[in-house]
Structure 1
Amino acid sequence: MFRVVRRTMSSKSSNPASLHNPYFSQGKSQKDVWSLINETAAAAQQELGRPIVNLGQGFFSYNPPDFALKAVNHTITTPQYNQYAHARGNPNLLESLSKVYTKDLGRPVPKEEIQITTGANEGLFSIFFGFLTAGDEVIVFEPFFDQYIPNVEMTGATVKYVQLKYPQKLDKENVTGDDWEVDWAGLEAAITPKTKLIVINTPHNPIGKVFNEKELHRIGQLCIDNNLILVSDEVYENLYYSPKFTRPATLSSLPELKDRTLTVGSAGKSFAATGWRIGWVQGPAELIKYVTAAHTRICFSTPAPLQQAVSEAFGEAEKNGYFELTRQQYLKKYEIFTKVFEELGLPYTKADGGYFLLVNLSKLKIAEDYEFPADILGRGTEDFKLAYWLIKEIGVVGIPPTEFVYPPHRAGNSLEKCLRFAVCKDDSVLEDAVERLRKLKNYF
């Protein structure tokens, strides 16, 4: 599973740093986008002497709901919940999720079909390590959530990239998630005898696209025809803004797809608690057992008091309509935030789900002699310059979306014109951002 790196006696060094895993060389140790942008924001805030509005990383500016906090206060003082949880997960949380998925998937979902993980990212990591070995291939749609790539590559497998095609009309007008079309010819060509998994993200980060039933059917049929597993990253499953959320594991037109679908979920996204690191994977028991095997060796056990708190929070959410209320609150957040882009004529992708907004800022004209630091120039794409300029001149943080693109595909990519903003903030924070962004009209 792991690459073996042989060193000859002549290359032996007295520097212990020379023993590093070679995966983290050749640019892979470059400062990540989150550190680069957040450090830029912190420096600008100190330099300007006033707060910066951070709509970059997808962390919440407010607490989880009171009933979830109450559950934590209860569980953290109960002795049994402060000890190791079972590697499969807290039985109460497994039972809660069994009820949730039984309702959402429209069929009985036993606890044997669920594995609790230390965040959704570790759930993905466990899937990859449970099924991949060196030489295997995984298909990922581009743009992608950036953690997919190293998680796959560390198993020795290779990522094959398939485009969600940038809709050219986004240069001039608003679009929807359906306008971001799958490169179907590219998808079919990417499948080889070495392919094991196709990964989708729905609702999608950074686009906000929810894959529609027709798209899911076509992807699912390819999985069935080629004996592939479909990994459906659904961490934003409770944030969708259409009457229903279509999942690959619920397709009535392709019921056999559920037998090869692994669904990834997140309490952090569902309860505004990204720091709790409680996630899960749902799927057929004969597939879940390999996720369990990998999870047990990666971290063995997920934080016990927080697992119990999430279980209790699901119970309360079912009673008080929390998820529907949250969706309505997010519709209001998008209404607040998109108002400024409507005023300025800056096109964006209307989010079908999630809590991001992808905005085309190509109307902006930045002075040719504007000075950028080496870290920003070193990225080689215009969206990093745009993000830096927006922090320094407007006081608002956005994320350059070419970070979610395979490096050889970044230069000249249409996403260079865009920035991604996170709306998982208090309404007052979004209103502050709107006031600042109105100043952009001076730079058209």
Structure 2
Amino acid sequence: MRYASMTERLADLGSNKWELHAEGRALARAGKPVIELTIGEPDIAPDETLLDVCNDAMRAGRTRYSNGRGEPAVLDALAAKYSARSGRTITTDNVLCFPGTQTALFSVFMAVVEAGDEVLVPDPYYATYESVIRAPGATVVPVPLRKENRFHLAAADLEAAITPRTRALLLNSPHNPSGAVLGLDEIRAIGEICRKHDLWLISDEVYEHLIFDGGFASPLDLPELAERTVVVSSISKSHAAPGFRSGWAIGPAEFCARLLPISESMLFGGQPFIADMTAHALAHDLPTSRIMREQYGRRAALVADRLGRVAGLEPIPPEAGMFILVDVAATRLSGEAFARSLLDNVLVSVMPGSSFGAEAESLIRLSLTVPDETLLEACERIAAHTGELMSKQGLDALRALV
């Protein structure tokens, strides 16, 4: 039988990137004491009021079909949020709702690129970015994020990667996996390059509310970039509600009008009871994100302190988010080999840097979404195992001299 070429383009971009995570889950199901530090799944529950709103909405009959753009209440709440943030009028014509950021990204790239186009993606990058770009036939062009620059995108590196086929930049700040947060001046410089070369600027802002110190900057909030910026986000991280799959895209009215038929062809609306919950989340100052900011900031400091005292490991403290990167190059293992060794020998499951691009080959990513005592236990296992690896390398080096 024949298949569409998309199936070939995406064949190696799905669950393969999460192979070690899946193996760790399987070991845990078999009764092994695995500590899972792989995925970005908040370890606190959504605020009780959100669950009440969702439950009440279902019981009130909010279980029927919606429409392609989104329920009026959540559209109004999103328009109000981004109007207040940007200081200019954002209307419901600038909003489309989706079941999560991933679906929003997939649809957005279906609308802005096609076969032969190129999309600039700062590397390291979130594991699914490559798939949403390759799905419509475009090519990912990595732009290096340098460790010595704290994984902040340099405008010069961005401009150097542009070709006549470049159509868009996929920006992610706060950044996954590094936790880097771009400042307003950096955003402005990046945006000016996008203006100069007439590029779309797709901004993934799911970690907007998880910045440990300092403010948030977005290209959407700069008037000169509004016509080319599309923001995607959700309540998955900000409100500890990843399983509810409630996200959105904010962009120019014409863009949203063109995107709507694509969205309707695939989805034709989400669940009204989840839309009601999302509208409530956006309209009220709930404590969830503040709790997570405090927890993840504290845990990042714990990991950086403990693993920073281990020969062979270099933790890279994040500025935001729910992860911390650790450079394992001094162990002479790749990030993937080191992650494999951790799971096989001490039952700690982490993500290998190779899941996030070539620039992360020597890195591993640890999730901060477990209790402090569990995270510290994982650090002790990692420290002990790294000590054994380094000792073995020392012995091997001595033997080589004899």
Whether the 8 Å CA contact 2:353–2:362 is kept in 1: the answer is: no
Q: Which residue of 2 aligns with 1:323?
A: 289
Question: Which residue of structure 2 lines up, in the alignment, with residue 233 of structure 1?
Answer: 204
Post-superposition Cα deviations, 1:332-359, rounded to whole Å, max 9, x if no partner, equal: 2323333321332532222111111101
Letter in structure 1 aligned against 2:70: G
Amino acid at match of 1:285: A
CA contact (8 A) 2:152 2:181 kept: no
Q: 2:129 aligns with which of 126, 148, 152?
A: 148
TM-aligned CA distance change 1:186 to 1:243, over 3 Å: closer
Residue 423 in structure 1 maps to residue 390 in structure 2: no
Q: 1:359 is matched with which residue?
A: 326
Give CA deviations for 1:202-239 in whole Å, capped at 9, x if unaligned. Answer: 11111111122232122111111122211111111111
| Match for residue 344 of structure 1 among 310, 335, 338 | 310
One-letter amino acid of the counterpart of residue 39, structure 1: A
The one-letter amino acid of 2:23's match is T
Q: Deviations over 1:30-69 (max 9, x none)?
A: 773454113321454467x432110112123342222222
RMSD (Å), alpha carbons: 2.4
The aligned residue for residue 20 of structure 1 is 3
Q: 1:193 aligns with which of 143, 158, 164?
A: 164
Indicate if the aligned counterparts of 1:44 and 1:392 stay in contact, CA closer than 8 A: no
Q: Deviations over 1:139-189 (max 9, x none)?
A: 11111222222212221222222211243xxxxxxxxxx432535454324
Q: Which residue of 2 aligns with 1:39?
A: 22
Change (3 A) 1:185 1:98: closer
Q: Structure 2 counterpart of 1:54, which letter? A: E
Structure 1 residue aligned with 2:337, among 385, 391, 400?
385
Please report the TM-score for the alignment, with normalisation by the length of structure 1.
0.80
Instruction: Give me the whole-angstrom Cα distance separating, in 2, the residues matched to 1:154 and 1:179.
Output: 30
SS of residue in 2 equivalent to 1:399: strand
Moved over 6 A (4+): none
Q: Check 1:78–1:432 CA distance in 2 against 1; reply closer, same or farther (3 A cut).
A: farther
CA distance in 1, matches of 2:40, 2:316: 17
Structure 2 distance, partners of 1:321, 1:223, is 36
Structure 1 residue 360: Cα displacement = 1.3
Selected match of 2:35 from 37, 46, 53: 53
Secondary structure (helix, strand or coil) at the match of 1:429 reads helix
Answer yes or no: is the 8 Å Cα contact 1:398–1:420 preserved in 2.
Answer: yes
**Cα displacement (A) at 1:326:** 3.2
- The counterpart of 1:160, out of the listed 129, 141, 161, is 141
Q: Give per-residue Cα distances to partners, 1:225-276, cap 9 Å, x unaligned.
A: 122211111111111122211111224xxx3112221111111111111111
Gap regions ≥5 residues in structure 1: 1-15, 168-177, 367-381
Q: 1:363 to 1:118 in 2, by over 3 A?
A: same
Query: Could you say what secondary structure the match of 1:182 adopts?
Result: coil
The DSSP-based 3-state class of the residue aligned with 2:164 is: coil
Q: Secondary structure at the match of 2:230?
A: strand
The counterpart of 1:87, out of the listed 68, 83, 89, is 68
Q: CA deviation at 1:103?
A: 2.3
| Compared CA separation, residues 182 and 325, structure 1 to 2 (3 A) | closer
2:52 to 50, 55, 70: 70
Q: Give the distance between the partners of 2:244 and 2:282, measured in 1 at CA.
A: 15
Would the aligned equivalents of 2:173 and 2:205 in 1 still touch at CA under 8 Å?
yes
Number of the residue aligned with 1:284:
252
Q: Compute the TM-score of the two structures, normalised by the length of structure 2.
A: 0.88
Give me the whole-angstrom Cα distance separating, in 2, the residues matched to 1:309 and 1:250. 26
CA contact (8 A) 1:357 1:420 kept: yes
Q: Which residue of 1 aligns with 2:397?
A: none
Q: How far apart in 1 are the matches of 2:226 and 2:363?
A: 36
Query: Which residue number in structure 1 is paired with residue 396 of structure 2?
Result: none
Q: 1:442 to 1:29 in 2, by over 3 A?
A: closer
Q: Is the 8 A contact 2:173 2:208 kept in 1?
A: yes
CA distance in 2, matches of 1:428, 1:106: 43
Aligned to 2:105: 124
- Mark the CA change 1:27 to 1:149 in structure 2 (over 3 Å): closer, same or farther: closer
Q: Residues 147 and 365 from structure 1, CA distance in 2 versus in 1: closer, same or farther, beyond 3 angstroms?
A: closer
Asked whether 1:295 is paired with 2:263, we answer: yes
Alpha-carbon displacement from aligned partner over 1:271-312 (angstroms, at most 9, x marks no partner) = 111111111011221222222222111211122211111112
Matched, 1:108 2:89: yes
Q: Secondary structure at the match of 1:384?
A: helix
Distance in 2 between residues matched to 1:75 and 1:220, nearest whole Å: 41
Q: Which residue of structure 2 lines up, in the alignment, with residue 222 of structure 1? A: 193
The amino acid that maps onto 2:239 is F
Contact map agreement 1:40 1:388 (CA 8 A) in 2: no
Distance in 2, matches of 1:46 and 1:114, equals: 41
Cα offsets for 1:85-127 (capped at 9, x unmatched): 1211111111122222222222332222111111101111111
Structure 1 residues 321 and 23: alpha-carbon distance in aligned structure 2, compared to 1, 3 A threshold = closer
Shift of 1:421: 0.9
Tell me the distance in 1 between the aligned counterparts of 2:15 and 2:9.
Answer: 14
